[in-house]
Structure 1
């Protein structure tokens, strides 16, 4: 099967990471994959040395005619069976081009906030397939009036090879952070803002450190509240056990340095890719029971779901997870769970199955409709 994926967003976002993983998954499964991406953006960089065919374009907005011209030219050259879009500003261009070239269109929606009213009503109906990245997101679209039959769920694929635990990398990263001995490292990866629960996590982790002398906290990321968090750590007697490497374009090596991951959001998340990646690296996850996060783990098996914002509950869970007899079996179960449910080959196969099944149902419906037409000369 041939796919043409449109992703000209140059930024490092969860949708961009999903786009890269899906393109790689389809290519690894033996499909012919073309990608139209922004020059120098994350998508182009990460797909540069793969089997994916790269083309460059920019969409400043949905009316950018130069973007249309590039997509039309590339689609006529590749002749894909499906056009695939991941970013809002490219939804309408794909719908228009798909209609012009008679190529079916797949749209992924990564956000729960509603689109503009007209787009929210028309796009799921005009696209041949409209995918939400979690059941939580799907429910939100249905509550806004999208018919249930028009929204499928397809989770984010995760490249297991990128997340593989590397003890040499672990030692190197810990040394660079002046962490020695046999530490237990609680990791956080993401945007540092209040809605991500970073202050709840700081208070809970610091209280746990008073009970667990081997416990350290690794804060990976940046954001509007990063400075306030660093200042809070600097003012605390145990603040030297909080470590702030800053933003990293590639966070995968840091999973090897962690013993467990915290996902403490107090605002709903559409999904939670970092939770799945951490489990792929063999890490148990402590996560807030909110939004789409519960869909990323098996509570009590690969991690623990906790009340958002409850410092005492988080402190207790962190202390409990410092026990290797609890932490290590969960980490092993986590890796197996992700491999069976979220790995690239599983998601690619699921994606193709949903597309072909939909096409078969559509063709069957058309065939039945034609059979019901009366023959010429008969009433």
Structure 2
């Protein structure tokens, strides 16, 4: 064993979703707590861009699919050069190449599972039988993997990390941006951050905000993000001045302080709710759907409230409850930062190393 544990994390997907964010966050934290971290990543991807200024060492390559021989050869040469203590993978198209290379080079393999998708028979066999460590990002996802035939003893849970130093309450942003939006202190600004996709419940939330606004005009909506159903959502919100449609914002952190509550009203199961953690770290209560792994991302009835997953009436009533009960909002907001602390990336990175390299 080297003075520092040497980790090689492979993730050549160029996107910028939750799996990529998890890899970026945990790799950075592992380096910060003393590991020597190398990554094999797409040269133009979000992961490479985000890790460029970190202590993580970047190596570039691409896996176009699970049978990409060129990608396997390039990664094999890197493994021979680095001799890592552990190799880690996050994307299913790379599971089999990593499994074969780990066996060939005698490098223990760790795989993360993020998506709640039906396992192919070959993937189910790999995750059930191959010598590796398998981590799910939530208890919900662990249960789903077990339901698909993965032996319970094979699936571990590592909490989804967040870089807490990047998220904090910003009262100056709250005052200035709310003034620009024309939102008063007495108004309730319900925010959404993320993909504008039907499965995320964006249309259900829009209807709930409209129904609440019809009964109390102090209710407003704030929309940060974009995506597959952006055009339809913008059309739904057009000519409704109580909706403030911003699109993507970078950084997003100040906007959590601008809103009074963050809503994640998904109608299809999410394996976790990272935006809920980010909002709580900024002292903003959350409304999370009672579905998938979302309830694991906040303290139900302490830092947030559950949302029903069908019909806008339940969402409307919850929003109206919050606009009328300021002490409740204050209690939920005060509990958020403490809850988010348990997902601190440095703590989780140390736990991860202790599990892998006792």
Residues 114 and 120, structure 1, Cα contact 8 Å, conserved in 2: no
Summarize the Cα distance change of 1:175–1:44 in structure 2 as closer, same or farther, 3 Å threshold: farther
Deviation (angstroms), 1:3:
0.7
Which of 328, 333, 339 is the aligned partner of 1:331? 333
1:240 corresponds in structure 2 to 241
**Do residues 179 (structure 1) and 182 (structure 2) align?**
yes
In 1, distance between residues paired with 2:301 and 2:123? 40
The 5-angstrom pairing of residues 256-295 of structure 1 reads 256-295=257-296
Deviation (angstroms), 1:204:
1.3
| CA distances 1:138-157 after superposition (whole Å, capped 9, x unpaired) | 11111111111100011210
2:22 corresponds in structure 1 to 18
> Secondary structure at the residue paired with 1:210?
helix
Summarize the Cα distance change of 1:124–1:17 in structure 2 as closer, same or farther, 3 Å threshold: farther
Structure 2 segments unaligned to the other structure (5+ residues): none
Deviation (angstroms), 1:54:
1.0
Deviation (angstroms), 1:108:
0.4
> Secondary structure at the residue paired with 2:195?
coil
What is the aligned-residue RMSD (CA, Å)?
1.8
**Do residues 300 (structure 1) and 304 (structure 2) align?**
no
Which of 52, 58, 61 is the aligned partner of 2:62? 58
2:253 corresponds in structure 1 to 252
**Do residues 216 (structure 1) and 216 (structure 2) align?**
no
> Secondary structure at the residue paired with 1:146?
coil
In 2, distance between residues paired with 1:116 and 1:264? 29
In 1, distance between residues paired with 2:34 and 2:166? 20
Which of 130, 135, 145 is the aligned partner of 1:126? 130
| CA distances 1:267-318 after superposition (whole Å, capped 9, x unpaired) | 1111121112211221111111111111111111010112212322211211
Number of residue pairs aligned between Structure 1 and Structure 2 = 352
Structure 1 segments unaligned to the other structure (5+ residues): 358-379
| CA distances 1:87-134 after superposition (whole Å, capped 9, x unpaired) | 111111111111111110000011111221112122342242001111
Deviation (angstroms), 1:335:
0.9
The 5-angstrom pairing of residues 109-148 of structure 1 reads 109-148=113-152
Which of 158, 162, 182 is the aligned partner of 1:158? 162
Residues 263 and 275, structure 1, Cα contact 8 Å, conserved in 2: yes
Residues 156 and 342, structure 1, Cα contact 8 Å, conserved in 2: yes
In 2, distance between residues paired with 1:33 and 1:259? 38
Deviation (angstroms), 1:218:
0.9
Residues 197 and 309, structure 1, Cα contact 8 Å, conserved in 2: no
The 5-angstrom pairing of residues 96-115 of structure 1 reads 96-115=100-119
**Do residues 28 (structure 1) and 24 (structure 2) align?**
no
TM-score of the pair, normalised by structure 2: 0.93
TM-score of the pair, normalised by structure 1: 0.88
> Secondary structure at the residue paired with 1:190?
strand
**Do residues 344 (structure 1) and 342 (structure 2) align?**
no
Deviation (angstroms), 1:184:
3.0
**Do residues 83 (structure 1) and 84 (structure 2) align?**
no
Residues 178 and 184, structure 2, Cα contact 8 Å, conserved in 1: no
Deviation (angstroms), 1:62:
1.8
Larger Rg: 1
Between 1:165-174 and 1:312-321, the stretch displaced more is 165-174
Residues 264 and 309, structure 1, Cα contact 8 Å, conserved in 2: no
